[in-house]
Structure 1
Amino acid sequence: MSKAGLGQIGQVALHVSDIERSTNFYGDTLGMTKIFDAPNIAFFDNGGIRLMLSAGEGEPSGESSVIYYKVADIDESYSDLSESGVEFQDSPHVIHASDDYELKMAFFKDPDGNQLAIMSETGELS
């Protein structure tokens, strides 16, 4: 827990231009479970953290934040997502390595240009 008493992230909001297209991408292509939706809004469960997609008028979409999704096997996830139609900007690669730790990532975008990534960590960060 942080000094301010902040706990884990409870929800992340992304502004999208087309709620139906984005709902299909996050639900069908990425395989997230939709919790519920309403006009111009959809909520997905992502390992206990809610993802809210919002398509309100005048709201900007794309390239304002990055969401990093932890995966157990980055090469397997990369392959599965590529087969589902995700177009990666790069293949999984080492971002940081030390004697006992390695961080790998691969980046892609959703239909509105929001930057997303998969990441895996092995070993212990010291």
Structure 2
Amino acid sequence: MSDSVTANFGLVQIGQIAVPVSDIERAVAFYRDTLGMRFLFQAPPGLGFFDCAGVRLMLDAPAKAQAENYSSVIYYKVPDLHAAFETLSARGVLFEAKPHLIAKLPDHELWMAFFRDPDRNLLALMSEVRP
């Protein structure tokens, strides 16, 4: 890379996020049926893929059982946090708390609600509420 390309380089887009799961069938059902995510395909030995508006989510059932799974928190952006909260709650998702205000920014408020998948990976809904 040239110096100007190197100086301007920055990561700008997520292509795929991997989430470790213990049971691929249970996890696929949760993400597809409960969360309503767009299922793409499954692949051996224990992978499931979903499309999140161009970002691919890969569920990965590891070959070797792990005592504890460590995962990044995935924040799903939704236009109406309270409606999403009610819909997912009705589908059996147990939230850690009701949607709440995280920050008041100059042009919007940031609201979030956190929940876990069947493998206890932390997930969140987020919404930028404009006046």
Q: TM over 0.5, yes or no?
A: yes
Could you tell me which runs of 5 or more consecutive residues in structure 2 were left unpaired when the two chains were aligned. 1-6
> Quick one: percent identity of the two aligned structures?
53
Whichever structure has more strand as a proportion of its residues is: 1
Equivalent residues of 1:14, 1:54 under 8 A apart? yes
Instruction: Determine if the alignment matches structure 1 residue 38 to structure 2 residue 43.
Output: yes
Instruction: Give the Cα separation in 2 of the matches to 1:65 and 1:7.
Output: 17
Larger of the two Rg values belongs to structure: 2
Match of 1:49 in 2: 55
Instruction: Give the Cα separation in 1 of the matches to 2:88 and 2:16.
Output: 23
Q: Deviations over 1:14-71 (max 9, x none)?
A: 1100000000000000011111111200100111110000102226464431000000
- How many angstroms does 1:101 deviate by? 1.9
Mapping of residues 31-110 of structure 1, within 5 Å: 31-39=36-44, 40-58=46-64, 60=66, 62-110=69-117
Could you tell me which runs of 5 or more consecutive residues in structure 1 were left unpaired when the two chains were aligned. none
SS in structure 2 of the partner of residue 22 of structure 1: helix
Count of aligned pairs:
123
Equivalent residues of 2:20, 2:70 under 8 A apart? no
1:68 is matched by which residue type in structure 2?
Y
Moved over 3 A (4+): 59-63
Q: Deviations over 1:94-120 (max 9, x none)?
A: 000145320000000000010000000
Q: TM-score, normalised by structure 1?
A: 0.89
